Amino acid sequence: MRRNRDTVRASEIGTFLYCRRAWWYQRQGEPSENQAELLTGAKMHEQHGRVVLAAVVLRAAGYALLLLALVLLTIYLLNTFLTF
């Protein structure tokens, strides 16, 4: 997929602010010389993404269990007070 050369991405702004020459090389299509570091960073971001996803799922499960507990408590209290 080709992208418009007039479009500047947020990551490109970061590259430009860090090193204007690196940004220029990137815009010219030159491959980066620190491929190993880029791969390490990509793996770290992928791992962090999995941790965040797990936290979101666990939080949702916690809310679901809390809701279930409240429903069961309500049913218990209604049965207790309605049997008198």
- Residue-wise over 25-35: b if at least 16 C-beta within 10 A, else e? ebeeeeeeeee
Range of the domain at 76: 34-84
Maximum separation of any 2 CA atoms in the chain, in Å: 82
Split into its structural domains, the chain has a count of 2
> Tokens representing 15?
């590259």
What count of other Cβ atoms lies within 10 Å of the Cβ of residue 15?
A: 19
**Predicted pLDDT at 45:** 95
* Overall pTM > 0.75: no
Q: Which residues does 25 contact at the CB level (< 8 Å), separation at least 6?
A: 32
Average pLDDT over residues 51-68: 98
Across the chain, what does the average pLDDT equal? 89
Q: Are residues 6 and 26 in the same domain?
A: yes
Q: Is the pLDDT confidence value at 47 over 60?
A: yes
23 falls in which pLDDT band (50, 70, 90)? confident
Q: Are residues 2 and 39 in the same domain?
A: no
Closest among 40, 50, 38 to 11, alpha carbons compared: 38
The percentage of residues in the chain with a pLDDT greater than 90, rounded to a whole number, is 52
